[in-house]
Structure 1
Amino acid sequence: MIFVQSEFARLQKVVLAESEFGYPLEVRASDLRFLADGAEEDSIANRGRSFAEAYPDLQLQWETERKVFRQTLEKHGVEVLTVRKLTIAEKEMSPKDGYSNFFTRDPFFVIGNTVVEGAMRFLHRRHEVWPLRDLFLREVYPADCMYVAAPYPEIADERDLTLGNGPFIEGGDVLVLDKHVFVGNSGLASNELGFRWLSKLLTPLGYTVQSVRLHPEILHLDCALGLVRKGLMVLCEEALLDGVPVVLKDWKSISVTLDEAKNLATNGLPISEEVYITDPAFRHIGEQIEQEGIQVEYVDFRISRSFGGAFRCSTQPLLRA
């Protein structure tokens, strides 16, 4: 069965990311503004290399983070599926752009019983869905669900810093709350055309799809807003340019600063309405969540966070109900 009811419905089956990244030969500084200082210099210094080649010790630490995260999920009864690694041919597809296979949240997402292949904005992530398709053969094709892919983004002129009209629609921007779906748009990932495409898909299925404008240094909506359980959220209000959506106005919020949001403070992962995973760097947030009667698990995710994603980014649920 494939079905996602909400961000905090009990997590039963999930896809966990791999830990692969290849630096591009050409660096676009405008696409790195959501990362920590020094990202542009690091990308220039390691052009054309893999992260494992550039930082073998950090690569092992990164893989260990994911291993501990998996153990934490399994401890709570979650079935964890893994992604295969990229082939040599896939890595060499576009050396100019680099490659990635590190966050399963964005290349595809699940809303209700609809599985959607996204359309990625960053060039090094355009083909990140490839290693996931082997998993789709086993899990998605046999299941009683709908499976669609967003249109492949257009190829823009090299001088076009927007990377064109897209459409761009990425799972990190998509938050599910029963029949209400929020879609973020900061200019870095999903865009207006991606929102329109997803609305066209979901509205006939009875969903309300709402666009949420984001601060330009926030990559995805889940970097500004995390739904912990019904009535409780972790929120960076400064990152929501039009304020808190009306549907969430009455929810209790645990506030974070813009700097904390950029560091992935809202990107924890609810296993259920009773259990939540976050990084010990955000223990002060975890303690506030614990005061609401929720068990908080802590996993050090500093290497994963250095790539612009954390626990939600590293997973894509197939069953939350």
Structure 2
Amino acid sequence: MLQLNVQNETSRLKAVVLGTAKSNGKTPTLEECYDPKSREHILAGTYPVENDMITEMEEVAKVFEKYNVTVFRPEIIENYNQIFSRDIAFVIEDKLIKANILPDRDKEFEAISHVIKQIDKNKIIQLPEECHVEGGDVMPWNEYIFIGTYSGNDYADFITARTNIEAVEAIQKLFPNKKVKSFELRKSNTNAKENALHLDCCFQPIGKSKAILHKNGFLIEEEYNWLVNYFGKENIFEITKEEMYNMFSNVFSIAEDVIISEKSFTRLNNWLRKENFIVEEVNYSEIAKQEGLLRCSTMPLIRL
């Protein structure tokens, strides 16, 4: 049996689900798009091709191997996008919470049934139907659970609004011993530079007490300021709109001092090294074209 344990974003990783780009299917139509960045690349004729994405994901698998992390991969569904495993479920403490995601994506959860079977079924939580949530919006951080949300009356109009206030309340009930802190995110169906698809598109804690942050991803300035005060200005790497668009905050921690990052993120990677992180650089720029990066394609199961 898998003894799930995730208390935060950065403790030493022991087991993870890494998505797959195999049999990813044809380039979607504009109507099939879930986010503005994919739309942009479809229109420009630069949408990523399967082989390039497979190569990129294998680079990440090799880094995990180097650090002795147990890696699970989804079973292949023919012609189906299964890259972003973070969306389909997430672990907090010793519980796996199944995300109520876009209905078209239910098959993705079934494709990790070989992993689910190894988990005590009492530890698998299905939230009520009215709770919408995706793993990219949920960050356990020791005594806190940070959650990105959107509570505007026009929630239903945004295909980019993935986590609602009902889910925030349900997670607080599930973990009464945690402080659940929600953040209103900026949403746009059409402009990728004005859209924080998930919380990890504009914020991520790293190490023990540092964070990557992008102010414009937050709708409410006080909520952004809360994070600045919590981590301390000197511990924050503030990214620009262009860097948010390129997914600078969507790196992935293997340990408190080891981070997998995209090799083109020069400004960030140099800062991380200056702050004594080991940076494992990989190519992930093709996958980034679908508005997701390293954190989006990984679902931690066990951190020590």
TM-score under structure 2 length normalisation: 0.84
Number of equivalenced pairs: 279
- What is the CA–CA distance in structure 2 between the aligned matches of 1:312 and 1:59, rounded to whole Å? 19
Aligned to 1:3: 5
Do structure 1's residue 33 and structure 2's residue 36 form an aligned pair? yes
Aligned to 1:278: 261
Label 1:25 to 1:258 Cα distance change in 2 as closer, same or farther (>3 A).
closer
Aligned to 1:226: 204
Q: Which runs of 5+ in 2 are unaligned?
A: 151-157, 188-194
Do structure 1's residue 191 and structure 2's residue 164 form an aligned pair? yes
Deviation by residue 1:286-306 (Cα, 9 ceiling, x = unmatched): 110111111111000012111
Do structure 1's residue 140 and structure 2's residue 119 form an aligned pair? yes
Label 1:276 to 1:238 Cα distance change in 2 as closer, same or farther (>3 A).
same
- What is the CA–CA distance in structure 1 between the aligned matches of 2:29 and 2:186, rounded to whole Å? 28
Aligned to 1:287: 270
Q: Which runs of 5+ in 1 are unaligned?
A: 44-50, 92-98, 153-165
Shift of 1:32: 2.7
Shift of 1:248: 5.3
- What is the CA–CA distance in structure 1 between the aligned matches of 2:297 and 2:54, rounded to whole Å? 12
Aligned to 1:258: 241
Shift of 1:42: 5.7
- What is the CA–CA distance in structure 2 between the aligned matches of 1:223 and 1:207, rounded to whole Å? 23
Shift of 1:140: 1.3
Do structure 1's residue 240 and structure 2's residue 218 form an aligned pair? yes
1:202 to 175, 184, 189: 175
- What is the CA–CA distance in structure 2 between the aligned matches of 1:286 and 1:197, rounded to whole Å? 37
Letter in 1 for 2:128: P
Match of 1:222, SS state, is helix
Match of 2:108, SS state, is coil
TM-score under structure 1 length normalisation: 0.80
Label 1:25 to 1:62 Cα distance change in 2 as closer, same or farther (>3 A).
closer
Letter in 2 for 1:136: I
Shift of 1:313: 0.8
- What is the CA–CA distance in structure 2 between the aligned matches of 1:313 and 1:79, rounded to whole Å? 18
Do structure 1's residue 178 and structure 2's residue 153 form an aligned pair? no
Aligned to 2:100: 119
- What is the CA–CA distance in structure 2 between the aligned matches of 1:4 and 1:245, rounded to whole Å? 26
1:151 to 128, 138, 144: 128
Label 1:194 to 1:127 Cα distance change in 2 as closer, same or farther (>3 A).
farther
Deviation by residue 1:162-183 (Cα, 9 ceiling, x = unmatched): xxxx431000000110121011
Name the % identity: 24
Aligned to 1:70: 61
Label 1:131 to 1:74 Cα distance change in 2 as closer, same or farther (>3 A).
same
Which deviates more, 3-12 or 241-250?
A: 241-250
Match of 1:183, SS state, is strand
Aligned to 1:211: 182
Aligned to 2:83: 102
Letter in 1 for 2:55: T
